[in-house]
Every structure is written in structure tokens, then in C-alpha cells.
A and B are shown apart, each in its own frame.
Chain A
């Protein structure tokens, strides 16, 4: 029996900032103090506050140590674990108050969060099935198999109002009932864990932090639609997730939670992993299934929908990781409980991956209908360096930008679509006043051009043409005609592409054109980049009366474009300048400006 548990984050974020070494040193120190029978070290999944990693929580006190270094470990062990004196200097500063330490759940980052999909992440050891069971794991599966008919399971999911968390937002219960209605000798349950949106990592966190929830939910789905085989399509770029998921599958088989006659019923179910090689298009459902079958991952027209003809021509359902991770809780707590959270048409919670120009980079889960302002300003801790919020990008390369004027919009599926963005998988990239919106649109277009599978012309050729026009705009060589042509292309590609990738690829351009037309005009008409990002439109100048002639700028200039005598005003030769900005960074007198 251990009196204290030390939970160290073993998610990808904290692993890359050294949590493995921390665990090693921690175990050595604990052993050298003779505490190995009293204190247990547990490697968990993601806590969500990735910006402050590596993260460690010591129970029962619940002390939250952030940005821990291996050098800090001896102090934590000898002071806190041995003598019970919490090392306040290493605590997450928000939990330290004048009259002591406050609970993590009272901090701004966690206060407004509601964890359903992420409920076990950072709480359990993902490589130990017993811990999952201790937190009500596999009870929902047991309940379904012993108490409910498959139709009843589907109606619970329908009543809950759960919609697909991967992007489209299709009602999950309806998807299941369509697959159930189709008779076949074999059906399949698939999970889309090919999280490809730049900036989104919630699915990875669930796989790393709570892999058993996926197994349980897929088995429930199998029971509901009448399938005995499941496939998880997961990116090979997620090595920790793949490893933990495989461990979880092996443990579930050993316990008979996968296999024949689960819970003594007639129901049998097993599942396998399929690793994706990292093509964005394989997150599209028909391409994903083609890839599972062993072919080149290319989409095909729908209908037939997967519920009719999916994997190997058999009825198939495909849900995203986050969607599945809600299922066991819905079964245990009821459809009404789930439907009581969120907005009228979007029930439950949504996980967002906060990134970009924001203080608390990390994963947050909030009820649907939480406003963007609450997510960015309160939970996210606002924009660093006192900069102003300009826009938030949701939905990755398929989504759009939400400008400041919509900062108070309650986030749900329909509201986001009404302003030209989309929920997507939940990546939320925050941009401040230093971000050029044309440049952002170009960034996403570069991504889609790269990732277009090439099967259909509108996407393959169209996105390339769009990128060319955007490049012209950022170089200051575009005309107003080009802007019209760009918009026309957008609508053409949207309506003619084969799959979701092409149909949504123009969204970043359309939404920035809509909300930030003035920035496009500045690039095209005035040949200026208002945010000072597009290099071709910039020039660096030295202000005469501020320059002290210290020669520092001339010395750091890599191309010797700056000349001048000591104690006299210097001059930049614009024909030589490569606009690297090194001089501006070094100048102590703010004498260099970019225009």
C-alpha cells in the first residue's frame, strides 16, 4: 500500500521536455531515501497544460509541480516526499496564494473546464488496465451486454445528441442505426485516429492517456451495429500512442474484454491497429478505409456511404477518437446527463488544442457553447507580451478564422459554420496583431497543395493555382483582377472536388477574404503588409535622429548592407538588404524601423 502517488506526465509534450529522465531520477532518489515501499511513481497521459511541462502531481496533497528539472528532484523527494514540506518555489505559480496553496481545479486554466473525454488523462496509468477498471472502466460495456439490446444502446446514443467530433458533426447515433439496418454477414467498426490537422492533438492525448476507453467504446459500437471486428487507423507519427494502445489491446484480450463471449454473452469482438504513413487525405473516411484495405489512400465518391458499403464492401462505421471517448460515460450516466451539457444542437463537451500566440498552450475541454473569449482569455491565459488578439483559426486547413468582432460567439458546430469556419477536430490557433492573414491563408494552402492526393482535378490543379495567386499577393505583384480570380476559384473548388479535403481547402482563403479584406487590399493596392510579415513588401530604415552611430547594426548585418562612420548616422543599402531583421533586433536605441 502506497501512502503517496507521484503522477508524472508521459504525454508527447512532456516526454519531449524530458519527463522520462525525470521519472528515472525520481525513482533513484526515492530508492536512495528508502521510500520505495511508500511512494509510487506513475506515468500518466497528458494533463493538458503542455506549456508548463514537464508536469508532476504529488498526491494526496495534490501539489502541482510545473517545469520540473532533474536537478529539482532530490529536493522534492527529501523535502516533500520524506518530510511533507511542499516545495513552493516549484509549484505552478497560479496555485500558490498568500494564504497557502489552492487546488488545481480552482486555477483559471482548469476552473471552467469540464472533463468527459479527457476524464482519465493525467489521472490513471494508461498501461495498467486495473486502474482504468478502478475508474469505472468496462462497466459501460458490461452494462450494454447484460442489460441492453443493441437497439437500446443506439437509442441512448441518439438521445444523448452526441455528434462526430472529427469535423463534420454528423449525429453518431444515426450513423450507428444506419449501419445496424444493413444486413450483412460481416460488419466493421473503425476508429479514425489519423489526426492530421496542424495544431490538433486531442486524439493523441486520449490514446496516450486513456487507451482503454477507445477499446471499450469500439466494443460497444460493435455490439450496437452487429460487428465483431474493429480497426484503429492511427498515425505512425504517434509512437507513444501506438505503443500504449497495443499494450491496452493485449491487456483487454488477456482479461477477456476482447475475444469470444465477452461478459458471458454471445457477443465476440476483437480489434487491430493499422498504421497510417502520414497522408492528410487518409483522415477522409473513404480514403482511410481504402488504406486499411492495403491500397493507396485515395478517396472515392459517396454514396455508397460506409454504413452501406465500407471496408471490403461491408457495412462499416467510422468514428473519431474523441467521439468514442464520450460513449462509455453516456452509457453509465445516461443520455439526459450528456444532453444537459452544451447548446441546443451541440451537446456535451469539446476538447480544443490551444496553440499559437497564447500563454497556456495545451489541451482544454469545455462544454459546447463556451465563448471564444472564455477559452482564449480566461482558460488560455490571454496573449503573451501584451499583444492584441486578432483572430483564432479553427478547423485547421478546412476551417476559417474568427475575428475579434466574433470574440463572444458561443462555440458550437452551427455557430462556427455560420461565420464561415468549422469545428474541425478542435485545433484552435490564436493569432495576434503581428500575424498577417494573407500569410496564414497561404500557409494553409501550402499544406493542402502538399497533401492533395491528386485524384481529382479541382483539388490537384485548383489549389495550386490558388497558392500561386496568394504568393503573388504576398510578393506585391498581384492585381485586383487576381483577387476576383482567387475568390472565383474558391467557389469552383468547393463545389467540384471529390472529397472533403478539396471541398474545404478554400475555407481559410474565403474566411480571411471575408473578414480581413482590408489586409488583402493593402497587399494588392498599397503594396504593404500591415503586420510586417511579408518580406517582399518590407523595407528597413534607420531613423536619423535616433541613430547614435554605435556601429552595432553594421557589425551584425550578414550582407554588409549597413554603412556609416562611428558616432554618425548609419544608412541601409536597400538593394543589398535581405530583410532578416538582425539589425533591428540588436539596435539599443529603437532607431531601426520596418515599414
Chain B
């Protein structure tokens, strides 16, 4: 170890992988429906895409978790995003490709991606 910069480089590299252990209170929560219907419709790649995208952007205070069946199996994979102030957005018929945009627009910049939400898709 020759300098503080070298230490910081290691810290930055590892920090994003241990963020998952932070307290999730006050975080944006990304909840992926992972019941049988969700998994069958392809929720796993969606879940992993969120994990990778959040890590790539080194975002803190974002918790990615799963839940069971939300009850709208025809729209699976379903992803719900909760902001710390309790607002909920429901994204439906999710794919791994849609994830990058949701992370950029919604999680980072706070703009809901309306065209992927349940409101748009049920019209």
C-alpha cells in the first residue's frame, strides 16, 4: 500500500458489493414479483438486471428485493418501486432490456417511465 488513493480504489471497488447489507429504511425499494408465475414469465433475468445496473452505477440506498405473487399474473413479470416517502409505481411485463431505462429515469432522476407502468398497459 503506497498511498491513500490506492486504498480508496479498493474501497470503491468493494463498497458497491457490500451496500446490500445497509439498512433498507430510507432506501428506494425495488420489489420483483418472484412467485411461480413471475419466475415462469422471466422475473429472474429482470431481478439480476436490476442488481447489475444498480451496481454499475454505484447507487447507494437502493434495495432490490423480491416478493410473492402480486395477483396480476397476466402482467408478469411485475416490478414495484417504492420511494422512501411511500409512493409506489408498478411496472408490468418487464424485461431485462427495460431495466436500464427505469434505473436511469426513475431511480436516478425521479421520473416515472409511464409507458412501462400498469396504467398505460391496461388501457
Contacts and interface: CB of A to CB of B under 8 A. Distances in A.
Q: Does B associate with A?
A: yes
A134 B14 contact: yes
Given A3-B51, A85-B68, A60 B1 contact: no
Nearest to B62: A60
B24 A60 contact: yes
A514 B66 CA distance: 60
A172 to B, nearest CB: 25
B51 A257 contact: no
- Residue from B50, B55, B66 with most neighbouring chain A CB atoms (10 Å): B66
A103 to B, nearest CB: 6
Given A1-B55, A3-B51, A4-B20, A83 B14 contact: no
Nearest to B25: A103
Contacts of A138: 1, 7
Interface residues of A, number: 38
Given A62-B24, A103-B23, A84 B14 contact: no
Given A61-B65, A131-B18, A263-B2, A139 B24 contact: no
Contacts of A256: 1-2
B10 A133 contact: yes
Contacts of A261: 2
A263 B5 CA distance: 10
Contact of B48 (A3, A103, A130, A255): A3
Contact of A83 (B48, B50, B55, B68): B68
Nearest to A61: B65
B20 A2 contact: yes
A105 B22 CA distance: 12
B10 A84 contact: no
Contact of B7 (A3, A7, A142): A142
A170 interface: no
Interface in B1-48: 1-4, 7, 10-11, 13-15, 17-18, 20-25, 27, 31-32, 34-36, 39, 44, 47-48
B46 to A, nearest CB: 11
A130 B10 contact: yes
Contacts of A62: 23-24
B52 interface: yes
A252 to B, nearest CB: 9
A147 to B, nearest CB: 9
B19 to A, nearest CB: 9
A139 to B, nearest CB: 7
A83 B31 CA distance: 11
Nearest to A1: B55
B92 interface: no
Contact of B14 (A2, A131, A262): A131
B85 to A, nearest CB: 18
Given A135-B18, A138-B1, A38 B48 contact: yes
B51 A38 contact: yes
A3 B34 CA distance: 14
A134 B52 contact: no
B61 to A, nearest CB: 11
Contacts of B22: 60
A2 B23 contact: no
A133 B7 contact: yes
A550 B93 CA distance: 73
A264 interface: yes
Interface string B60-75: 0001111110000000
Contacts of A263: 1-4, 7
A5 interface: yes
Nearest to B10: A133
Contacts of A82: 34, 39
B21 A139 contact: no
A134 B23 CA distance: 16
A146 interface: yes
B24 A61 contact: yes
A257 B39 CA distance: 46
6 contacts: A2-B20, A62-B24, A83-B35, A103-B23, A105-B23, A134-B18
Question: Which 10 residue pairs across A and B have the least CB separation, nearest first?
Answer: A84-B66, A3-B51, A134-B14, A60-B63, A256-B1, A1-B55, A130-B14, A264-B2, A142-B4, A84-B34
Given A3-B64, A38-B44, 20 more contacts: A1-B52, A1-B55, A2-B17, A3-B51, A37-B48, A59-B20, A59-B21, A61-B24, A61-B63, A83-B36, A84-B67, A105-B23, A130-B14, A133-B11, A134-B17, A135-B18, A142-B1, A256-B2, A263-B2, A263-B3
